[in-house]
């Protein structure tokens, strides 16, 4: 088995993130540091450790969805000492987050110890949609909607197209739905920065066919078999 796959199956992170662990020299096999990405191990005999801790594959996988509040970092430990999403989770199992939401964005994020599941959710080849509810100050013009839909131009490069739908206007704020199927860094915020709109609230409400539903802010809930199958069925 390839080393990065073994690490992900042990609940360290997605396969792509596990490659960073390997290249940074944090992984040992039978006591020797390994930093070659193509390394193959015998998962039944070899002893694999990360940061000095010996790994073993879990007996069962855990899949949670979390309604992340603003003011929490998507990391196990934050170098700035900020609260993290794992402060909200009670679990005896070592979990990691699937993808990220920035510090001031709230909404749906998955937590798991299944690296293959994480890889399917985040791999760009599957193009799972992500829907956000965006609240901006001021009234949106139809021309601004059109720019967002065809892809804003940032530093001379056009960003991906987006599905944008008007939801409401209360005389001060516009609320709209934005659906994207690529995961560029801070993509939604950059889209609105490019048209000069200030986001007051950004919330992810859906990944693929899985929604927040009635999940309260800061709470977790086990994913159903049907929700998990939305992604595992894409193999």
- What is the pTM assigned to this prediction? 0.81
Q: How confident is the model at residue 215 (pLDDT cuts 50, 70, 90)?
A: very high
Report the CATH number that the domain containing residue 31 is assigned in CATH: 3.10.290.10
**147, 171: one domain:** yes
Check which CATH number belongs to the domain holding 97 and give it: 3.30.70.580
Tokens of 226: 């049907």
**Smallest Cα–Cα separation from 145: which of 124, 123, 165?**
165
Number of structural domains in the chain: 3
Catalytic site residue 102? yes
Q: Which pLDDT score is estimated for 227?
A: 94
pLDDT at 154: 86
- Greatest CA separation for the chain: 66
pLDDT surpassing 80 at residue 182: no
The phi, psi pair for 108, rounded to 5°, reads -75, 130
The C-alpha atoms of residue 1 and residue 169 are separated, in whole angstroms, by 54
Domain of residue 174, CATH code? 3.30.70.1560
- Are 153 and 199 in the same domain? yes
Do 135 and 199 lie in one domain? The reply is yes
Structural domain harbouring 184: 129-207
- Are 136 and 195 found together in one domain? yes
Let me know whether 140 and 167 are in one domain: yes
pLDDT in the model for residue 43? 87
Q: Where are the alpha helices (DSSP H) in the chain?
A: 3-9, 15-23, 115-122, 142-150, 187-194, 225-232
What pLDDT sits at residue 235?
47
Are 216 and 199 members of one domain? Answer: no
**pLDDT tens per residue, range 92-127:** 888 999 989 999 999 999 999 988 888 889 877 788
Catalytically annotated residue among 46, 102, 181, 193: 102
Which tens digits make up the pLDDT trace of 123-180?
A: 777 889 999 999 999 999 999 999 999 988 888 888 888 999 999 999 999 999 999 9
22, pLDDT greater than 90: yes
User: What angle do helix axes 115-122 and 225-232 make, rounded to 10 degrees?
Assistant: 60
**How many H helices and E strands in the chain?**
6, 15
Amino acid 177: pLDDT: 97
Higher pLDDT, 125 or 194: 194
Average pLDDT over the chain, rounded to an integer: 91
Give CA separation, 118 vs 11, 17, 18, 57, 156, in Å: 10, 10, 11, 15, 33
Neighbours of 52 (CB within 10 A): 7
Kindly report, residue by residue over 30-80, the tens digit of the pLDDT: 999 999 988 999 988 999 999 999 988 877 889 999 999 999 999 888 888
Q: What is the 3-state secondary structure (H, E, C) of 115-146?
A: HHHHHHHHCHHHCCCEEEEEEEECCCCHHHHH
Based on the domain organization, do 34 and 137 belong to the same domain?
Answer: no
């Amino acid at each position: 088995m390839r080393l990065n796959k073994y690490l992900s199956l042990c609940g360290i992170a997605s396969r792509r993130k596990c490659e960073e662990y390997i290249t940074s020299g944090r992984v040992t096999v039978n006591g020797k540091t390994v930093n070659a990405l193509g390394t193959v191990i015998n998962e039944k005999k070899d002893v694999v450790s990360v940061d000095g801790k010996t790994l073993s594959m879990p007996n069962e996988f855990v899949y949670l969805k979390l309604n992340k509040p603003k003011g929490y970092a998507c990391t196990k430990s934050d170098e700035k000492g900020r609260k993290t999403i794992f402060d909200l989770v009670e679990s005896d199992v070592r979990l990691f987050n699937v993808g990220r939401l920035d510090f001031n964005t709230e909404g749906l994020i998955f937590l798991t110890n299944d690296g293959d599941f994480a890889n399917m959710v985040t791999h760009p080849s599957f193009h799972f949609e992500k829907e956000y509810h965006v609240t901006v100050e001021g009234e949106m013009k139809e021309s601004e909607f059109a720019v967002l839909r065809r892809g804003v131009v940032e530093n001379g490069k056009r960003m991906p197209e987006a599905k944008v739908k008007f939801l409401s206007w209360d005389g001060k704020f516009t609320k709209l739905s934005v659906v994207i199927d690529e995961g560029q860094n801070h993509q939604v915020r950059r889209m609105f920065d490019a048209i000069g709109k200030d986001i007051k609230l950004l919330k992810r409400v859906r990944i693929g066919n899985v929604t927040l539903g009635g999940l309260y802010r800061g709470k977790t809930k086990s994913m159903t078999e049907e929700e998990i199958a939305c992604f595992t069925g894409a193999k």
